[in-house]
Chain A
Amino acid sequence: MIKIEQISKSFKATQVLKDISFEITKGDFTAVMGPSGSGKSTLLYSISGMDSINEGRVLFEENNISAMPEKELSGFRLNKMGFVFQNAQMLKNLSIFDNIILPGLVAKKESAQAIRKHASELMKRMGIEGIEERDIREVSGGQLQRASICRAMINHPDILFLDEPTGALNSVAADQVFAILKDLNQEGTTIMTVTHDTRVAAKARKVIYIRDGQIAGYKEFAVRADRSSELDEWLKGFQSKA
């Protein structure tokens, strides 16, 4: 689905990503881990076309999104990708519900009525029904993050990109988000997430460990209910090296 071929990125004199290559197949749940400042988020934004790269290319279903014109790329983001950020980012002049349906109404893949229905279903599924008309400042962090996932899912994206989705949440809210992500993946949504949280990474099938802008480790886990202990073991190797 997505082929990342030898991408590199620099901010002025500092090189943040160095010669990174890997592949994401349809239905994957990929977690990117690594210490702060290692380039995890930059990798996510480079792959999703939200940030430019200096070298290499990113092929999304054979489309080179690193060379795509900005307008075409924004259409790609609207129709094929969904984004969730660490601090749930929403437009403050829209209610929670309107924030969720906005990308749907812009994309016009379905009728307005169908989009509204879909949004209501997503909210119900995320357990946040009843906050539709609220201001984004009137809900909790967990509710807002779940609303962000609803917005990201409104256009039935091929892939969901998440940047530290539980970073700003308490453990109860984080657990709710884990469960949702797991369900979505099981239903066929491809997920790529940047995370510090081993509980999130433990839900992933592929884990990439980034250090100093390079892939320091890559592991594919067997399909099993609990991969925590195996992941912890694997991560220990990097910590001892550090």
Chain B
Amino acid sequence: MILLLHLVRKDFKRNRVITTALAVFLILSALLMATGLRVAGTMNSSLKGLDELAVPPEYLQMHKGTYDEEAFDNFVATHEYIEDSLIVKMLDINNKNIIYQGETLEKCLMDNGFVVQNEGFDYLLNMNNEVAVVADGEIGVPVYYAEELGIQVGDVITLHKDDYSKELRVSTIIRDASMNVALASSKRFLVSPADLDEISRHMGENEYSFEFLLKDGSSTAALQKDYMDANMPAKGVAITGSLLTMMNAFSYGLVAFIIIAISILLILVSLLCLSYIIQATMADENVTIGEMKAIGLTGKTIVKLYQMKYIILVLIAGVIGYLGAIPFGDFFSSAVVMYCGYGTVEWMRWVFPLIGVILLGLIVMLGCRRIIRKNLKRSVVELMRGEEQIKKEGHYTLPSAGLKYPNLTMAFGELKCRWKEYLVVFLVFVFSSFLILLPMNMKNTIENPSFITYMGIGESDIRVDIQYSDKLTAQKDAALASLENDSEITKYAIYENGYVQSQNAVGEWEYLRVESGDEAVFPLEYLSGSAPSDSKEMALSYMNATELGKEVGDSMTVVYQGEELTFTVCGIYQDITYGGKTAKAAIDFAENDVEVYIIYVDVHDGVAIEKKTDGLRSILPDSKVTPVSEFIAQTLGGITDSMSLVEAAAIIISLLLIMLVTVMFLQLITAREHSAIAIKKAIGFSNRDIRIQFGIRILVIQFLAIIVGTVLANSLGEMIFGWMLSAMGASKIMLLVEPVTAYLLCPAAQLLTVFITVIVGTKVVRNYHIRDQIRE
């Protein structure tokens, strides 16, 4: 053992650069793997913990207006599958009446409701995940605002309307299992019963949330159907537990998913490099191995000898990766911890990464063993003769007209003959380019205003929501009158949203959200078919169509006000809002059944959207007016922030990766070509010429790899992104590429990194001497 370690130490000393590069490579793989799994473990524990402690409802139905409490109690009593129920009274306060540090929350898309702590389930928790308690004069603020606006304990929130003003001191930040994420459009503030009572006398509108816990094995769809059939209060959105889980998973899981995906790719690249390095170094060791075999060392001993180095490397990488994953993992999971806490199964964030690095270690060790064994199969004589060296590589021909650019001609010629040697480095460069572009393109796509088309509506500038108010019709009329006379507006369209019943795939009746309005004003790109053109046609969202097994041309029966209506499916579009299940049809909803009017507005070129939004807000005080770009940003909230983090991490990792691979590769090829370098020097090539030839070879390979990586990021990337978003309702995403960054700056940064690395890495050429080729 001591002898083995001694030999390994000598080997480290001899191949310092390669060993260091390989070590960094393995550490990076282990670090990413462990980080991804630590984020996954934390996320799992956090979400599970929050669910266990806050006990969110499995089904909740929002409602505005009056209701019959006795009828609700009867409904609960007569449905055995209901485990528990709750009526949560929420005082909706207009965002313009909530003031923090002198500014109202008017620009905020969220609906804000004030509640008291629940009893039984659906608790609002404090930052220690305990049931939060606030005294009179205090307020619990949703963690969303703590993140977005930087609200802290001790700050003051002022409620102000007309002559009434009330100051509430923030005593706790609230974690809300039902409405935590940015994707949920409502947020709940916690106040004391006395304060709620006082505030409700001066402002706000009561909204109720009818919440249910179900017995094991019960279906929320059945409850939804029974609830609607029983004419229970339902003037508002209905949310199922599975929708909450999906929103949470998408919001928090995206980063973990991307990091794990990157780490898996990186491990593959590491193995590829490892295999290349082992083969390259083993080729140089052939004579030594032959000698060892000749003096009677067994294959097993020789394998052990060569494997030892890689075992030590992977052990070091594993330990550093695991330890490094603690700060990195915590950084990437800070959002989920902030929103959900560490949870109840904290061991996951320690054990998951441990399993990951152990697996990585095993994969690397087994991989090394296989390659080394394969190399040892040759006979002593073959090894001693160095059979490897007599492999034929083929020729290139010098141009008959002469050499105008000798370095260029020779670099291309040698590349043509030795392209196989460059395969590994090519693949790594493709991977790096892909890795940089994919998150960047994804982020660009999400941030672009045209992303609204994946939310079931054509591109527009401003969105006006008129919802859940007794003054719904009056507001709508006022809004339309105002827009009609506004010369800055090019076009607008109003859409009514209401619910009809439809049968799901297993024959259960579900409520389906239908949008009715002129679909031609803001045309949407359909996956297949087109928008409804008459009252007999209905367009379905992708998820609805998939779940119901409907295609364009099929018929679709829905029930509205007890009457069966049959439509022909005319088109399928993408929509990630409302759980991805929506429809578009010309249904004339009764005024009472309209849940929300949404007006989309386009302004003339040159009109500042922000300014116009402010103008409309003052004209339409009871409506929610939002620029569409802001709507997307707020709806996707943390996702774009996470994507920015991932984008930055991907750029750093990729550049580091190409630098490392270039250093390693240059070390190997210059060592392999020491004889050619010496000959070139002897016949009159300068060191600079030879270094230029190496540079051209690597940069050409990288240039080709960037092209392939870019094409892959656009094509395969679209598939991956589409696959990720298909769970939400958009399957065919067109990645939007920012051409200057993607096609100019990123390739330039990568080429520059390699260029600088080549300058440094080829300095070694000066040391190769014709003298070393001579045996005196």
Contact = CB atoms under 8 A, between A and B. Distances in A.
A121 B414 CA distance: 27
Contacts of A40: 776
Contact of A71 (B396, B406, B686): B686
Given A105-B403, A105-B406, A77 B676 contact: no
A40 to B, nearest CB: 7
A164 B776 CA distance: 9
B683 A112 contact: no
A221 B678 CA distance: 35
Nearest to B401: A112
Interface in B189-205: none
Given A41-B776, A102-B398, A137-B392, A89 B678 contact: yes
B774 interface: yes
A77 to B, nearest CB: 5
B773 to A, nearest CB: 6
A94 interface: yes
Given A40-B776, A41-B776, A50-B771, A103 B683 contact: yes
Contacts of B401: 112
A116 B683 CA distance: 17
Contacts of B485: none
A164 B775 CA distance: 10
B293 interface: no
A215 B402 CA distance: 44
Contact of A51 (B676, B684, B769): B769
Residue from A45, A77, A91, A163 with most neighbouring chain B CB atoms (10 Å): A91
A21 interface: no
Residue from B680, B688, B770 with most neighbouring chain A CB atoms (10 Å): B770
B395 A77 contact: no
A137 B776 CA distance: 23
B393 A92 contact: yes
Interface in B21-43: none
A105 B684 contact: no
Interface stretch (A23-31, A79-87, A180-188, A198-206): A79-87
B617 interface: no
Contacts of A102: 398, 683
A9 to B, nearest CB: 11
Contacts of B402: 105, 108, 111-112, 115
A137 B775 CA distance: 20
B686 A90 contact: no
A70 B398 contact: no
A101 B401 CA distance: 12
A193 interface: no
B773 A87 contact: yes
A106 B682 CA distance: 13
Given A74-B684, A151-B683, A93 B771 contact: no
A105 B401 CA distance: 9
A90 B679 contact: yes
A91 B398 CA distance: 13
A74 B681 CA distance: 7
B682 A83 contact: yes
B652 to A, nearest CB: 37
B397 interface: yes
B769 to A, nearest CB: 7
B415 to A, nearest CB: 10
Interface string A107-119: 1100110011000
B774 A70 contact: no
A106 B774 CA distance: 25
B685 interface: yes
A68 B250 CA distance: 67
B681 A50 contact: yes
A83 B393 contact: no
Interface in B365-407: 390, 392-403, 406
B215 interface: no
A107 B684 contact: yes
A92 B394 CA distance: 8
Contacts of A91: 676, 679-680
A168 B664 CA distance: 35
Interface string B680-705: 11111111110000000000000000
Interface string B754-776: 00000000000000011101111
Q: Contact size class for A?
A: 35 or more
A73 to B, nearest CB: 8
B390 A41 contact: no
Given A51-B769, A93-B418, A83 B683 contact: yes
B458 interface: no
A92 B410 CA distance: 12
A106 B390 contact: no
B268 interface: no
Contacts of A101: 398
A136 B389 CA distance: 13
A127 interface: no
A41 B403 contact: no
A108 to B, nearest CB: 7
Q: Contact size class for B?
A: 35 or more
B71 interface: no
Interface string A156-194: 000000011000000000000000000000000000000
B568 interface: no
A145 interface: no
Contacts of B679: 89-91
B417 interface: yes
Contacts of A74: 681, 684-687, 689
Contacts of B685: 74, 78, 106
B687 to A, nearest CB: 6
B220 to A, nearest CB: 70
Nearest to B417: A93
Contacts of A89: 675, 678-679, 682, 770, 773
Contact of A98 (B390, B398, B414): B398
B771 A45 contact: yes
A231 to B, nearest CB: 21
Contacts of B686: 70-71, 74-75
A98 B395 contact: yes
B413 interface: yes
A42 interface: yes
A135 interface: yes
Contacts of A51: 769, 771
B586 to A, nearest CB: 73
A90 B689 CA distance: 18
A86 B775 CA distance: 8
Contacts of B683: 77-78, 83, 102-103, 106, 151
Contact of B776 (A37, A75, A116): A37
B396 A94 contact: yes
A135 B406 contact: no
A140 B334 CA distance: 70
A242 to B, nearest CB: 17
Given A74-B684, A107-B684, A93 B397 contact: no
B198 to A, nearest CB: 88
A50 B400 contact: no
Nearest to B397: A98
Nearest to B685: A74
B396 A93 contact: yes
A36 interface: yes
24 contacts: A50-B682, A50-B770, A74-B687, A75-B684, A77-B684, A83-B683, A83-B770, A87-B773, A87-B774, A89-B679, A91-B676, A92-B676, A93-B414, A93-B418, A95-B397, A98-B398, A103-B684, A105-B398, A105-B406, A108-B403, A111-B402, A112-B401, A112-B402, A116-B400
Q: Which 10 A-B pairs have the closest CB atoms?
A: A78-B684, A112-B402, A74-B686, A105-B403, A93-B417, A103-B683, A98-B398, A71-B686, A77-B684, A83-B682
Given A74-B681, A89-B770, A98-B398, 13 more contacts: A36-B776, A42-B771, A45-B770, A50-B771, A71-B686, A71-B688, A74-B685, A92-B676, A94-B396, A94-B413, A102-B683, A107-B684, A112-B402
